Chain A
Amino acid sequence: MILIISTCKEKLSELEFVTPIERILGRCKTVHYSKLTQKEIDEADKIIISGTALADFDYLKHDWSWLTRFNKPIFGICAGMQAITKAFDIPLRKKETIGVHQVEVVKENKFCNGNFNAYFLHTLTGSDKFETLATSEGIPCLIKHPQKEIYGCIFHPEVMNENIIKSFGH
């Protein structure tokens, strides 16, 4: 079972950042990070951590350190990637990108190849210590933990690159 963790402070934002992922995956379970239980973490085969609204930073106040002890695949989207970077003590820096930008794959990976367009909606990013799989305007936008199946994606694949989410789901 794939567990989607919502990072949305506002329930209304979930229609925009969580519902589209649920639709792409089909069978999955969604829980807000503040209500997540150890049982749900243990039962998950894979975890996707969603993005949230541009004005929302509440998820950064949360303790995400449990992610470092989770040994199954994780895929963080935008705010979800920032949650991963927080868990691994990777500093976040200000970088505002809003709209459609080109992505260039720089390392072979199971999600994507070549160049493609993607939708960005973020003001913070960070990638130190992780491998860079793809960049946009020279800045890492798809990253991977050097050993574990933990991925961070600063753009929103649910908008223009559904296959990335499907690849992770399968």
Chain B
Amino acid sequence: MKLAVLYSGGKDSTLALMKASKFHKIVCLISVMAENKESYMFHTPNINITKLQAEAMQLPLVQTVTKGEKEKELADLKKAIDEAKKNYKIEGIVTGAVRSTYQASRIQKICHELKLWCFNPLWLKDQVELLNEVVESKISAIIGGIFAEALPLEMLGKTVDKKIVKQLAEIAAEHHINPAGEGGEIETTVLDAPVFKKKVQILKVDKKTERHAGIYQITEAKLT
């Protein structure tokens, strides 16, 4: 089956892509850039990097910009998926959804309307297990955003490794938050993975923090 991956550039969509590629052919990536920081579906600090990531994987990217307003952004997503269906003859979509029934059900509806299969290979996965699998799968992901009071801002820009996973798991257990960021606590950006033919090298970053939140915005990067 020819599939497209709904790709945010983070650890989850990269791991989902790797799992799906064991069974099916990934023919393109779809990414949605939300202008609104409060987007219900698509807010990701380094979504601008997906173009480089797609190039690193030698996959075409269907990219769309949405204002990020509730429900309207779904119409924009549907348009992008439909474009991928027409241009790349995809028969289904892969997502990195783990727990969000809000996101999952909306993507399921779009796929149903467009007569496409919908695959969520990380669905209901234990979040610490997921983080460990990211590390074991040799996905090199940095923490690109922190949006939870309990998490130290020093984690910004750090690579998700065994030590960070342990730290995230401990903090999450103590403060009842999601260790893998399923509730939006953290956002990650993948710089390298076994499916990448080239690595993303960060050249310039803009680190911004405000009270208990922070973003590690990659403003300049190249493939090496």
Contacts and interface: CB of A to CB of B under 8 A. Distances in A.
Interface of A: 10-13, 15-16, 19-20, 23, 53-56, 96, 98-100, 119, 121, 123, 158-160
Interface of B: 1, 19-20, 23-24, 92, 101, 105-106, 108-109, 111-112, 115-126
B105 A53 contact: no
A121 B123 contact: no
B125 to A, nearest CB: 8
A99 B117 contact: no
Contacts of B112: 54-55, 96, 98, 123
A158 B104 CA distance: 14
Contact of A159 (B1, B122, B124, B125): B124
Given A10-B1, A20-B124, A23-B124, A98 B116 contact: no
A16 B120 contact: yes
A170 to B, nearest CB: 20
A96 B111 CA distance: 13
Contacts, number: 63
A163 B23 CA distance: 32
22 contacts: A10-B1, A10-B119, A11-B23, A12-B19, A12-B20, A12-B119, A12-B121, A15-B19, A15-B120, A15-B122, A16-B120, A23-B126, A53-B117, A53-B118, A98-B108, A98-B112, A99-B106, A100-B101, A100-B105, A119-B101, A121-B108, A159-B101
B92 A55 contact: yes
A99 B1 CA distance: 26
Contact of B23 (A10, A55, A56, A160): A10
B154 to A, nearest CB: 33
Nearest to B107: A98
A35 B98 CA distance: 29
A116 B124 CA distance: 19
A12 B23 contact: yes
Nearest to A117: B101
A20 B20 contact: no
A96 B109 CA distance: 10
A160 B102 CA distance: 13
List 7 A-B pairs, minimum CB-CB distance, nearest first.
A99-B105, A20-B124, A16-B123, A15-B121, A55-B117, A12-B23, A16-B120
B74 to A, nearest CB: 13
Contacts of A121: 105, 108
A126 B219 CA distance: 55
Contacts of A159: 101, 124
Given A10-B23, A158-B124, A98 B119 contact: no
Nearest to B120: A16
